Structure formats: C-alpha cells, structure tokens
Amino acid sequence: MRLVLGSWSSIIFALMYPERFKNQVALVTGGAQGIGMTVALRLGREGAHIVLLDRNADALAKAVEVFVAQKVPVSTIQGDIANESEIEHAMESVVSQQGRLDVVVHCAAIVGPTNTPLAEVKVEDFDQVYEVNLRGSMIVTKQALKAMLPNKYGRILLLASIAGKEGNAGMSPYSSTKAGVIGLVKSAGKDYAESGVTINALAPAVIRTPMVDECHPDQVKYMTDKIPMKRCGTLDEVAAIACWIVSREAGFNTGATFDLSGGRAVY
C-alpha cells in the first residue's frame, strides 16, 4: 500500500511522541462539551491528567462518562469563570491534589446577542458577555499564572475568535470581547515572556458547536459564507492545533494569536 507524506508524518509523530503530555496536568474551562471537551479528550489521550471546569454540573457528569468510556483520567470542578474566588480556589485545588498545573486551555464563553445591530443591543446583555468572555479570560489567566510561575513552566491558551480580529456584523458584544481577549494575550504574553509560561490565543472561524447552535441561522450563514472553504471547521481540527500550541514543541510562541479560519484570515 502506498502511503502519502501526510500518513508517514502521522506515523513518525506517533512513534516519536506517543505521550506528549505524559505526567502533565491540564485544566480545560468550558470542558463539558464542544471545543473544550474535544481538546481535553485529545490532551488526555496524549498522556495528560485532565481537569474539566464548567459551571454546568449535568454537562460535567455526562462528560465524565465519555472520558471514562475512553479510559482518559479526568477530574471535574464546577465553577464560574467570572467569579475570581471560585477560579482561584479551583487552581489551588488542582495544584494541591495533583501537585502541579502545566496546561490551561480556556474555552468557556457565551455568544450573547446575534443578528442584532449595535443600536438594538441592551447594555445589560453587553455587560453579561463582557463579564464572561473578557473578564473571565483575565481571571483565568491571572490565576493560571499564579499556579504555574513557581514551576517556571506552563502553557496558557485562550480561545478568541475570528470575530475578534475582523468583527462580525450583528455580534458586537461577542466581537468586541473576543478582540479584548486578543489584546490581553498580546500584553500578558510580553509580561511573562521570560518566565517559562507561554500565553497564546486561537482564533477560529465558525466551528459547529452547541454555542454556534444558539446563534440565529442567518448569523451562521453570514459567518460561513465568509469562509473561502465554504464550510465550518471541525472540533478535531481545533483540538489538533490547540494541543500543539500548549505542547513543549511550541515553546518559542507567546503573545500570539493563531488563525483557524478556512482561509478567512490570511494576515
């Protein structure tokens, strides 16, 4: 059977790095479903002990069943990323119970109003999106740093969005808060560039997830039509690049925002 180069690359990679995250502990926010759970599963399959943090207790319980069925070690914490005391306690608990925290992938977010021009957006709705998406990102990053800096090693990845780079019409709260996430990463990455802890972001175009399913159908069509590949990204595609960003191989990247956009973002 003839193997293409990509197949050989996958085989060689699997032989060289069967457990990229062996003996590491990875916490994934919003880890009970969607992008968070998919990234967490891949990290776990590559050797990490996984801690899922989510505010939805029922979703966490269902996620655990998936991890157990796939024989991936997992712990869970129910918590609200917008509540600093809860997140501080969560990070401290992970370090206390597992002895370390090596990776944090921050996926928890909300969409807020969609298909809604700015003049029709309620201030209270904007505030809610800000509290979760931007304030929550700051809290998670701050507390992750406190857990990682003593070990002089860590990987922090925040999920931004192509909407934060280009803006999506009808989604001003989401777009502006995700732009804030990108700015947060740029600044914090420079703050801690010599610490051994990297801080990066990933900016996907539309990925078919439960969060996207909450959007107005016209909004999803608008976002998909902007993608030259004319399709949504897959969860596995997000997990593949996310796991590389938080691996040791990506040690010379910090303060960066990586695109995953099917050709929409090219600079």
* 67 part of a folded domain: yes
Q: Rounded CA gap, 88 and 115, in Å?
A: 35
- pLDDT (tens digit, 9 = 90+) per residue, 194-232? 999 999 999 998 887 666 666 677 777 777 787 888 888
Q: Is the pLDDT of residue 240 over 60?
A: yes
Q: Does residue 190 fall inside a structural domain?
A: yes
Q: Which pLDDT does position 6 carry in this prediction?
A: 43
Residues with a catalytic annotation lie at 174
Domain that holds residue 233: 20-259
Share of the chain above pLDDT 70, in %: 90
**Segment 17-29 mean pLDDT:** 90
| C-alpha angle 231-182-76 in degrees, rounded to nearest 5 | 80
Long-range Cβ contact pairs of 214-219 (< 8 A, separation 24 or more): 214/111, 214/114, 215/111, 215/114, 215/115, 216/114, 216/115, 216/170, 218/115, 219/114, 219/115, 219/168, 219/170, 219/171
Domain membership flag for residue 9: no
- The CATH number given to whatever domain includes residue 66 is 3.40.50.720
Asked whether residue 15 carries a pLDDT value surpassing 60, the answer given is no
Specify the number of domains making up the chain.
1
Q: What average pLDDT is seen over the chain?
A: 90
Q: How far apart are CA 238 and CA 259, in angstroms?
A: 10
Residue 44 lies in a domain: yes
> Does the pLDDT value for residue 266 go beyond 80?
no
Residue 265 lies in a domain: no
What pLDDT, on a 0 to 100 scale, did the predictor assign at position 200? Answer: 98
Residue 131 lies in a domain: yes
- pTM: predicted TM-score of the whole model, two decimal places: 0.89
Collapsing DSSP states into helix, strand and coil, what is residue 46? coil
When pLDDT is cut at 50, 70 and 90, the band that residue 134 belongs to is: very high
CB 48 within 8 A of CB 25: yes
State pLDDT tens for residues 50-109. 999 999 999 999 999 999 999 999 999 999 999 999 999 999 999 999 999 999 999 999
Q: Cα separation of 96 and 263, whole Å?
A: 43
Of residues 192 and 218, the one with the higher pLDDT is 192
Average pLDDT over residues 100-129: 96
pLDDT class of 267 with cuts at 50, 70, 90: low
Q: Is residue 264 part of a domain?
A: no
Range in 2-11, 71-80, 181-190, 257-266 the model is least confident about:
2-11
Strand partners, 27: 51, 104
- Ranking 89-98, 113-122, 160-169, 229-238 by mean pLDDT, the lowest is 229-238
187, 244 in Cβ contact below 8 A?
no
Q: How confident is the model at residue 265 (pLDDT cuts 50, 70, 90)?
A: confident
Does 4 score more than 50 pLDDT? Answer: no
pLDDT for position 11: 41
d(CA 56, CA 11): 38
pLDDT tens track for 24-34: 999 999 999 99
Q: Is residue 254 situated within a structural domain?
A: yes
